[in-house]
Amino acid sequence: MPAARTLFENVWDDHVIASSQGEDLLYVDFNYINEGQSFLAFDQLRLEGRKSVRPEQHLAVTDHYLPTINRQAGIEGIANPEIRKVVSMMANNAAEFGLPHIHMHHRRQGIAHVIGPELGISQPGMLITCNDSHTATHGAMGACAIPIGGSNQLRHVVATQTVWMKRPKTMRIGIDGTLARMVTAKDVILSIIREIGIGGGTGYAVEYAGSTIRAMAMASRMTICNMSIEGGARIGMIGPDDTTFQHLANCERAPKGAYWDRAIGYWRTLPTGDSAQFDRELTLDAAALAPMVTWGTSPEDCSPIDGKVPDPDSFSDPERRRHVARALEYMQITPAMPLSEVRVDRIFVGSCTNSRIEDLRAAAGVLKGKKASVPGMVSAGSSEIKRQAEQEGLHRIFLDAGLEWRDSGCSSCNGSNGEIVGPGQRCASTTNRNFEGRQGRAAMTHIMSPAMVAAAAVTGRLTDVRHMALA
């Protein structure tokens, strides 16, 4: 009998074309492209006289640089000329190379890592690439989704529908048990990153497993896989199951009829075998987890909301001690300060991590009937989600609370579209990164779940949402 294989091995091995010098040449089922440095790949392809070998297996998505306001004015409505140029280049490159393009006026416009699973393009067993570090989001579908560089690797994928990759080791992170009230997928992944550190997953393909993961809806699974890169892993995966199939059954681009039956038969062969071996394993008790917030300038700089800011001297590793000292200086907070006393200047709900309809419902559930004491914005992950939220009346809750209801896109996650947090301002955010300057020069970011961000909007400080009265 052949040895049992992991989910990752099942998918990776099915896509190996050749091997050489420690790397595998992999067939790419689908490739997403955003504006970030992709123009370098297209410039090189143009110089070499190359075209896309299979353009229908690519999707260009304008999401990072596209502002979430003033869309009706078109490209000329983008005030910043550099941002306008990048958005325009994306449209021109997609048109020249014959690639499908979800542009600023497309009815399905949104963030690539939201609209791919939403449309059912991303499916179990696929090998997916994108020139973005959060490509692992699609791994929640049971795909092997890998970030690639926006220059040479993207050029190679567009021209050949293949990519050279070094095979990673395997890690399984098991989370078992029932999450307590108001503890979410965002708290789970932040807890994992706190445990393993930002380099703990480096060189591994991570599979998230256990009863907690199996009980999660697809949106929560995507949040988990999305932040794999913040723990150092470029690949994060969850085995496909009935929850996955039920999601895909309603998707526009999923297989239909006899093709669906064949697909289901294949998808059921993908999950990790009972006796499969991993290079590293880690387990967490879901019942022990609490709502998390970051206090520093790395996703691993996080603690339960009822905790305190740590003292740099409490860390034994000299490098970690130096980082924490610098982080506290940048974040303008002091050791032993209760996290619940940290005041915020504004909030943001959005990003490829937490902008799905479930995330908007969670934030609205906290905000309903209340007023925000600080300004902020809410940006859905896609135009479809925005329409659904409006049909459910969620946008009215945000507007009545005093927050901005924006169009879909990456928005204030990294500020490349000009939607930044001001210098010296502190933002409670549902995003994935809190690096120095991530949301704007000298901006300070605290990462947390949508419900926690909503609680901070009401009180004007980091707040334990478990103590909030919900409508």
For residue range 251-301, list pLDDT tens digits in order.
999 999 999 999 999 999 999 999 999 999 999 999 999 999 999 999 999
Distance CA 293, CA 263 (A): 40
Residues 173 and 147 in one domain: no
Q: What is the pTM of this model?
A: 0.97
Say what percent of the chain tops pLDDT 90: 98
How many separate domains does the chain show?
A: 3
Binned at pLDDT 50, 70 and 90, residue 471 comes out as low
Question: Does 212 have pLDDT greater than 90?
Answer: yes
Residues 183 and 77 in one domain: no
- Cβ neighbour number for residue 143 with a 10 Å cutoff: 30
Residues 128 and 196 in one domain: no
CATH number at residue 429: 3.30.499.10
pLDDT digits (tens, 9 = 90+) for 147-168: 999 999 999 999 999 999 999 9
Residues 6+ apart with CB under 8 A from 411: 68, 348, 350, 351, 377, 379, 417, 419
Question: What is the structure's pLDDT at 412?
Answer: 96
| Helix/strand/coil (H/E/C) assignment for every residue in the chain | CCCCCCHHHHHHHHCEEEEECCEEEEECCEEEECCCCHHHHHHHHHHHCCCCCCHHHEEEECCCCCCCCCHHHCHHHCCCHHHHHHHHHHHHHHHHCCCCEECCCCCCCECHHHHHHHHCCCCCCCEEEECCCCHHHHHHHCCEEEECCCCHHHHHHHHHCEEEECCCEEEEEEEECCCCCCCCHHHHHHHHHHHHCCCCCCCEEEEEECHHHHCCCHHHHHHHHHCCHHHCCCEEECCCCHHHHHHHHCCCCCCCCHHHHHHHHHHCCCCCCCCCCCCEEEEEEHHHCCCEEECCCCCCCEEECCCECCCHHHCCCHHHHHHHHHHHHHHCCCCCCEHHHCECCEEEECCCCCCCHHHHHHHHHHHCCCCCCCCEEEECCEHHHHHHHHHCCHHHHHHHHCCEEECCCCHHHCCCCCCCCCCCCEEEECCCCCCCCCCCCCCEEEECCHHHHHHHHHHCECCCHHHCCCC
Which of 165, 191, 213 is the last residue in one of the domains? Answer: 165
pLDDT digits (tens, 9 = 90+) for 299-331: 999 999 999 999 999 999 999 999 999 999 999
* Nearest CA-CA partner of 63 in 114, 29, 19, 16: 114
Residues 107 and 213 in one domain: no
Question: What is the structure's pLDDT at 415?
Answer: 86
Mean pLDDT of the chain, nearest integer: 97
Question: What is the structure's pLDDT at 470?
Answer: 73
CATH number at residue 189: 3.40.1060.10
Residues 111 and 203 in one domain: no
Residue in the structure block whose two tokens are 């659904």: 388
Q: Give a yes or no: residue 18 inside a domain.
A: yes
User: Greater confidence, 1 or 97?
Assistant: 97
Residues 119 and 83 in one domain: yes
> Which of 68-82, 150-164, 371-385, 389-403 is least confident?
68-82
Q: Give a yes or no: residue 2 inside a domain.
A: no
The two structure tokens encoding residue 245: 């199939």
Question: What is the structure's pLDDT at 200?
Answer: 97
CA 270 to chain CA centroid, Å, is 23
Q: Can you say whether the dihedral through the CA atoms of 310, 311, 314, 317 is positive or negative?
A: positive
Alpha carbons within 13 A on the beta-carbon side of 384: 14
Residues 66 and 160 in one domain: yes
Residues 157 and 181 in one domain: no
Distance CA 369, CA 314 (A): 42
Residues 314 and 448 in one domain: yes
Residues 423 and 463 in one domain: yes
The two structure tokens encoding residue 327: 């982080």
- Cβ neighbour number for residue 259 with a 10 Å cutoff: 10
Say what percent of the chain tops pLDDT 70: 99
Phi and psi dihedrals of 240, rounded to 5?
A: -70, 140
Distance CA 373, CA 425 (A): 15
Q: Give a yes or no: residue 83 inside a domain.
A: yes
Q: Give a yes or no: residue 111 inside a domain.
A: yes
Residues 28 and 84 in one domain: yes
**Which residue range forms the structural domain that includes residue 387?**
308-467
Question: What is the structure's pLDDT at 319?
Answer: 96
Q: Give a yes or no: residue 90 inside a domain.
A: yes
Question: Does 1 have pLDDT greater than 90?
Answer: no
pLDDT digits (tens, 9 = 90+) for 28-87: 999 999 998 999 999 999 999 999 999 999 999 999 999 999 999 999 999 999 999 999
Q: Inter-axis angle of helices 357-367 and 450-459, to 10 degrees? A: 30
